Chains A and B, each alone.
Chain A
Amino acid sequence: MISTKHLDVFYNENKVLKDIQLEVKPGKITGIIGPNGAGKSTLIKAILNIVPHSGKILINGKVSKKELKNIAYVEQKSDIDHTFPIKVKECVSLGTYTGLKLFQKLGNKEWSRVSNALQKVNLSEYENRQIGELSGGQFQRVLLARCLVQEADYIFLDEPFVGIDSISEKIIMNILQDLKSQGKTILIVHHDLSKVREYFDDIVILNRELISYGSVRDSFNQKYLKAAYGDNIFIGD
């Protein structure tokens, strides 16, 4: 289980996240929503120890720093240099690094995990392409394959549904549902409110502080959304 206590994050002088108290229920797909600049990505980066923070973050009761290998993280795909000379299968193989020691090379076992993952996201025939040759949706699937290879219990995805085609979206969603049924905990940063009910079991509504956390039925309503987005928000029921 992931829990945060009094989590604060500063960027320079600005407080980006204030006193976040969360106990994420395991085995669910949880969406993190909120307006631009609400600190959604920052929250998962803090849990991953990528950004400095104060307060306590525990994973399975241990300090999160010690449990990093149990989290697979898919950053926003725009953060990655698409012209880098790396093939699809090599990119996916980076996911095996958590299990390898320094100086240890990838063996057959690792490469077979890579090709299994590529099969799951339906990209086997692209394994020798350079990553820049893929479409946005295909590349998102490559990143998901990389995170499958990590075989982690916790999976964090940052805006995985931005700029992708509907086939890729469907493949990704099916895999995530499958992972959930295996008992994995999935956290997804998401900004498009229209598909919240379709994608998530639970949601975290955030605007620098925690506004609500609960099941989509309990938390995804006018009251909390207005608290996060201001009065102009409207969602149909």
Chain B
Amino acid sequence: MIQNFINGLYEFHFLQNALVTAVVIGVVSGAVGCFIILRGMSLMGDAISHAVLPGVAISYILGINFFVGAIIFGLLSSIIITFIKNNSIIKGDTAIGITFSSFLALGVILIGVANSSTDLFHILFGNILAVQDIDKWLTIGVSGIVLIVIILFFKELLITSFDPLMAKAIGMKVNFYHYLLMVLLTLVSVTAMQSVGTILIVAMLITPAATAYLYTNSLRKMIILSSSLGAVSSVLGLFIGYSFNIAVGSSIVITSAIIFAISFLVSPKQNFIKKKVKIDD
């Protein structure tokens, strides 16, 4: 079976593209995901990844690159959510729920209107085996930019995530970093759309990061581990999906969930099994 996968890699260009793209997406979403879970923004990540959909549809209609429309709608949704939360008695999670479901619905309608070669099913659930060369290079380019931004602003992202109050007190523009992260999140959402689809992007963002969180005691290590786990889940998921002819995006998500489940039981921080024994004593 493994031989079959490796032979496929030698033989088929589409499988090479799929492998490279999946690994790159795993790495970059694992890295950005760390900041998302540490800031308690998992729901926000979910919202933005769904909210890019109408942007993608409009880009197809207008014939422009889908990154442009996606970023506009991703940011628009985060501005709307923040606005509702800050200017009414509606709580954050409610604002997120209303916003992202409407954006998703709007996206589905617009894709229907566009009626182009874009297949709704592929946008919603990913189609990594159909990634073209241009998409692959675009993914690599965008992911490279995201990673460089994280490295350059690491110091600032660390302090605004860990201690926003102190960051404000020393005069930092905390909001700027919030929106910077929203931009990165949107970029990652659009790239990850190809591998796992809009519906499941949040899993790529938070599951590897949550797993890494269980093992590490510094942000740098957490990001490295999370990215590696993202890459490993992507390769394994692709391998399983290809070998058994099942949906690759969902295989990636399930693989990464299984790694989390095992870690939940054995990780030193969680210490679940030992705790259990102690209680039994």
Q: Using CB atoms and an 8 Å cutoff, list the residues of chain A in contact with chain B.
A: 48-50, 65, 68-69, 71, 73, 75, 79-81, 84-87, 90-91, 94, 97-98, 100, 102-106, 129-130, 150
Contacts and interface: CB of A to CB of B under 8 A. Distances in A.
A24 to B, nearest CB: 17
Given A85-B218, A105-B155, 11 more contacts: A68-B169, A75-B166, A81-B38, A85-B38, A85-B222, A86-B219, A90-B219, A94-B163, A97-B159, A97-B170, A104-B155
B260 interface: no
A50 B165 contact: yes
Contacts of B163: 75, 80, 94
Contacts of B169: 48, 50, 68, 71, 73, 75
Q: Is the interface of B mostly helix, strand, loop or mixed?
A: helix
B216 interface: yes
Nearest to B223: A85
B217 interface: yes
B217 A87 contact: yes
Contact of A130 (B168, B170, B217): B217
B166 A73 contact: yes
Interface residues of B toward A: which range?
20 to 34
A26 B170 CA distance: 20
A19 B165 CA distance: 25
B100 interface: no
A48 B165 CA distance: 10
B213 interface: yes
B217 A68 contact: no
Nearest to B151: A103
12 contacts: A69-B170, A75-B163, A85-B216, A85-B221, A86-B217, A86-B219, A90-B158, A91-B162, A97-B170, A100-B155, A105-B155, A150-B170
A227 to B, nearest CB: 30
Contacts of A98: 170
Nearest to A158: B165
B228 to A, nearest CB: 15
B38 A84 contact: yes
A106 B163 CA distance: 18
A47 to B, nearest CB: 10
- Closest 7 interchain pairs by CB? A130-B217, A68-B171, A73-B169, A48-B169, A50-B168, A85-B222, A75-B165
B162 A94 contact: yes
A49 B163 CA distance: 16
B181 to A, nearest CB: 16
Contacts of A106: 155
A150 B170 CA distance: 10
A106 B154 CA distance: 11
Contacts of A80: 162-163
